[in-house]
Amino acid sequence: MKRVLICAALSLLWAQAAGQSTAEAFMALLPPVPNVSCTADTSVIAKFSKQIDVFSKAFRNYSEKLSQKGEEYQQDDADEMAAAALSKAGISMKEVEKLENMSEAEQEKWAKEYAEKMMAQSMSGNAGKNSNAQKMTSLAQRQKALVDEMEVMKGVIASRAKDIEIADTLETRKLNKALAILAESVKDVTHGEGATAADARRWEAYTKACHSEQVKYCGNMSPLWINYVESHLSFTKKMIPMLREVAQIEAEIFRLQFNKQPPVVDNETYAIKAVEDYSYILARSYDFWAGKYELHN
């Protein structure tokens, strides 16, 4: 029982960070959604990637602070919180120690007697405890409503991602078929050393045609991906205040349950993680990029 309470208490603590950064501040580090050109210069992509790297570095620093704070929550702190929770439940640490040495039958008997005791106390009523229980119930209901609403948004995003995956499968097949046909057309062409002028002209025409097919593939897929990025960004912005409220609710439930302030309160943790999730989607904006045409021998 003690181990279960310790794990429950620490699950909240590990979800919080010590930094003062906001989700909006992290969002500001990211580049805007690009207007992708399938033949953009590499310098454009390098600049875009550099901005993504700036965000990634900031997030890593933030995560390290999170880990450092987590390491500070020693077992003694966990034991103290577990003891507080047990005390609120009317169970002393001595009783816990006795329970650990009881046989299974003795534990079952103790559990039955404890349940009867709690039922009697519930019947007699305790205004303070009942008030806290009502508050926690209300908070839990609000938390569930927020989570359910966000799950709907995530469902929409997941559905759009699946649509893109299907479209990419079809477009890739078209590209591969077109490239195979083009390759077949130059099977008799010598390129590189020993090539004639006619071979060189046919090979150049072939490479230009291949590049054109790749640009066409990019032109079909990039708009779909960018639309997906914009949708993900819109939902992320909507979820940021909701995720803050979820963090606030968890902190308040902690206070009510353990009768003490949480060691660390950072209402931005979940929201900042949502921004990081979005950053992965944004970073793939140039995945279908074809680049400028270059003749390869």
Q: Provide the token pair at 249.
A: 């609710």
pLDDT of residue 117: 65
Whether the CB-CB separation of 39 and 290 falls below 8 Å is answered with yes
Side-chain half-sphere CA neighbours of 26 within 13 A = 29
Q: Which residue ranges of the chain lie beneath pLDDT 50?
A: 1-20, 74-76
Query: Whole-angstrom Cα distance, residue 124 to residue 112?
Result: 19
Q: Provide the token pair at 182.
A: 């083009």
pLDDT of residue 82: 58
pLDDT of residue 190: 87
Query: Rounded to two decimals, what is the model's pTM?
Result: 0.75
pLDDT of residue 3: 41
pLDDT in tens, 226-237: 999 999 999 999
pLDDT of residue 152: 96
pLDDT of residue 154: 95
Question: Which residues are CB-neighbours of 182 under 8 A, at least 6 positions away?
Answer: 206, 209, 210, 213
pLDDT of residue 9: 37
